[in-house]
Chain A
Amino acid sequence: DAGVTQSPTHLIKTRGQQVTLRCSPISGHKSVSWYQQVLGQGPQFIFQYYEKEERGRGNFPDRFSARQFPNYSSELNVNALLLGDSALYLCASSPEATGIYYGYTFGSGTRLTVV
Chain B
Amino acid sequence: DQQVKQNSPSLSVQEGRISILNCDYTNSMFDYFLWYKKYPAEGPTFLISISSIKDKNEDGRFTVFLNKSAKHLSLHIVPSQPGDSAVYFCAASEGQGAQKLVFGQGTRLTINP
Interface residues in chain A, defined as those with a beta carbon under 8 Å from any beta carbon in chain B: 4, 33, 35, 40-45, 48, 50, 55-56, 58, 90, 92, 97-98, 100-109
Cβ contacts under 8 Å, A40 to chain B: 105
Q: How many residues of B contact A (CB 8 A)?
A: 26
Question: Lowest 8 A-B CB distances belong to which pairs?
Answer: A103-B46, A42-B103, A106-B43, A56-B99, A45-B100, A48-B99, A100-B93, A106-B44
Q: B42's contact among A48, A102, A108, by CB below 8 Å, is which? A: A108
Cβ contacts under 8 Å, A102 to chain B: 46
Cβ contacts under 8 Å, B42 to chain A: 108
A41 CB → nearest B CB, Å: 5
Are A104 and B97 in touch, CB under 8 angstroms? no
Q: B46's contact among A41, A45, A105, by CB below 8 Å, is which? A: A105
